[in-house]
Structures are given as C-alpha cells and as structure tokens.
C-alpha cells in the first residue's frame, strides 16, 4: 500500500482550478492509499472553524468521504491555517498531528514537519509565529467577529507579499526563506531519525545528506499554486511527483 503526503495547497476561492484538482486527487488516487498526510497550509488562510466558505465546505466533504471510505487522514498545521481547530477537523474526518511528529512509515521512523520552524534565519517570521501561536493571542483573535478576522487575514497576506518583494529586491529571498542547514541537522539529531518530510518552502526535492556520519534523507513537498504535488511512499521507495495542471 502507498502512503501519500501533500502540503502547501493554499486552497482559496480565487483559485477554483486547484480546488477541483484537489477534489479529483482525493476522489481518485487517494482512495487507494493506506493513509493521507496533509502537512500544513491546506488553505491560503483560515480564520476560524466558523468560516462558512464554500471552499472549506467542499474540502471537508471530500476528506470526510475519504475517511469514511477507510483511508485515515492526518493534518498538521501550517503557517496559513494554524487556527484550524477540532470542530473543522471533526467535520473533515481528520486526525490532528502536533508539529513535529514522528510516525512509523512502513517500518521506518519518519519525522514530519510543516517546515517553517526550520527557517530560523527568517527572524521576523519566527517572531510573528511565536506571537500567533500564543494561546492568549489565539483566544483573543477568535473572539473577534468573522468580518474582522477576515480583514486581518487579508492585511496579513498583503504584508507578507510586500515583505517577499523587499527580500527579492535585496537578493536575500532564497536564503532567508529557506531552511537553515543547522536547524535541519538538529532536528535529525533530536528525533533520532534518518527520514524527514516537510513542506513550507515550496522547493520540492529529495535531498541526501549526512548527519553525524549517518545517511539521511530530507523530502521537501511542493506547493499547489500552479500544479499539484504529491509524495508517494511504498515499501521504502520515495516518489515525489508533480500532478497535472488544473
């Protein structure tokens, strides 16, 4: 059986083609999997489980149907959907995972992460992450009216795009927003694994590296902005592949 991994879909009403592609993937290939792992940023933005968006409802229906068909669905929060809660996970039939998480993958221990905590050179983002993961901040934010939360998400997205433009202009985009090698090595050491799977950086690749003399593999999942991306793991074989354009 094949275990499937996806991340960084950034599903959004403004990109209906990608949402359709996701639905086709869930109703097609995913039905034959032994499990599906979603490692964050399933949505472009998530401001609370009370958001009545059609995209959120469609995704919940498709994932619930997959889970009801006997395929376990696991979800790990990303930097865009860290407010996705137990209510929506229940609707979608998803099991929430902490970040990081170590799982048994066909007899091999694998470290799963969204990947943003590995980007330690991005100090501004790490400060923002620490603030927004604080339980008091979360409670205060979710207590606001839905319209106010949606407006915040819109402003945060605009600020993020502006900062990315500044980094590109400065020529530091590739280094600041990618993982720090020392953070990767530390994660392998801390968890005692030789396989890591994460998303976030939108740089799909399978990296071979050595940590303290041990051969290790780091798989970076691709984003779904222009096409899909999936990692298939079967009998120790790793296949990272792009899916068709919507």
d(CA 243, CA 140) in angstroms, rounded, equals: 39
The chain-wide mean pLDDT, for the chain, equals 94
Confidence of residue 163 (pLDDT cuts 50, 70, 90): confident
- Cα dihedral 75, 173, 13, 149 in deg (nearest 10): 80
d(CA 219, CA 180) in angstroms, rounded, equals: 15
Residue 194 CB neighbour total at 10 angstroms: 17
Residue written as tokens 């779904």? 224
CATH for 3-242, options being 1.20.1250.20, 3.10.580.10, 3.60.21.10, 3.40.50.300: 3.60.21.10
pLDDT for position 60: 98
pLDDT of 246 > 80? The answer is: no
pLDDT of 200 > 70? The answer is: yes
Residue 159: strand, helix, or coil: helix
Confidence of residue 157 (pLDDT cuts 50, 70, 90): confident
Percent of the chain with pLDDT over 90: 84
d(CA 219, CA 222) in angstroms, rounded, equals: 10
Report CA 61 to chain centroid distance, whole Å: 19
Residue written as tokens 């090698």? 181
Q: Nearest-5° angle of CA 105, CA 219, CA 168? A: 150
pLDDT for position 158: 84
Task: Read off the pLDDT of residues 170-192 as tens digits, 9 standing for 90 and up.
Answer: 666 666 789 999 999 999 999 99
Residue 39: strand, helix, or coil: coil
Confidence of residue 244 (pLDDT cuts 50, 70, 90): confident
Mean per-residue pLDDT, 30-44: 97
Residue 21: strand, helix, or coil: helix
pLDDT for position 156: 83
pLDDT of 159 > 70? The answer is: yes
Task: Read off the pLDDT of residues 1-33 as tens digits, 9 standing for 90 and up.
Answer: 899 999 999 999 999 999 999 999 999 999 999
pLDDT for position 169: 66
Which positions ≥6 away from 165 have C-beta within 8 Å?
none
Confirm if 195 and 233 have CB atoms less than 8 A apart.
no
Confirm if 200 and 7 have CB atoms less than 8 A apart.
yes
Residue written as tokens 């780091």? 218
pLDDT for position 112: 98
Mean per-residue pLDDT, 121-127: 91
């Amino acid at each position: 059986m094949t275990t499937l991994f996806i991340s960084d879909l950034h599903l959004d009403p403004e990109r209906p083609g990608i949402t359709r592609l996701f639905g086709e993937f869930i109703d097609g290939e995913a039905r034959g999997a032994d499990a599906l792992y979603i490692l964050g940023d399933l949505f472009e933005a998530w401001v609370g489980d009370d958001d009545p968006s059609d995209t959120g409802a469609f995704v919940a229906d498709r994932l619930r149907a997959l889970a009801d068909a006997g395929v376990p669905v696991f979800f790990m929060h990303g930097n865009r959907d860290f407010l996705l809660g137990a209510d929506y996970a229940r609707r979608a039939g998803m099991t929430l995972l902490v970040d990081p998480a170590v799982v048994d993958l066909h007899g091999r221990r694998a470290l799963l992460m969204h990947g943003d905590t590995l980007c330690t050179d991005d100090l501004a983002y790490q400060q923002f992450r620490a603030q927004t993961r604080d339980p008091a901040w979360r409670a205060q934010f979710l207590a606001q009216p839905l319209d106010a939360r949606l407006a915040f998400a819109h402003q945060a997205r605009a600020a993020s795009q502006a900062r990315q433009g500044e980094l590109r202009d400065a020529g530091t985009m590739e280094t600041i927003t990618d993982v720090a090698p020392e953070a990767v090595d530390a994660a392998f050491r801390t968890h005692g694994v030789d396989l890591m799977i994460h998303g976030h950086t939108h740089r799909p690749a399978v990296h071979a590296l050595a940590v303290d003399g041990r051969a290790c593999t780091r798989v970076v999942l691709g984003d779904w902005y222009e096409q899909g991306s999936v990692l298939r793991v079967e009998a120790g074989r790793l296949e990272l592949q792009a899916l068709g354009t919507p």
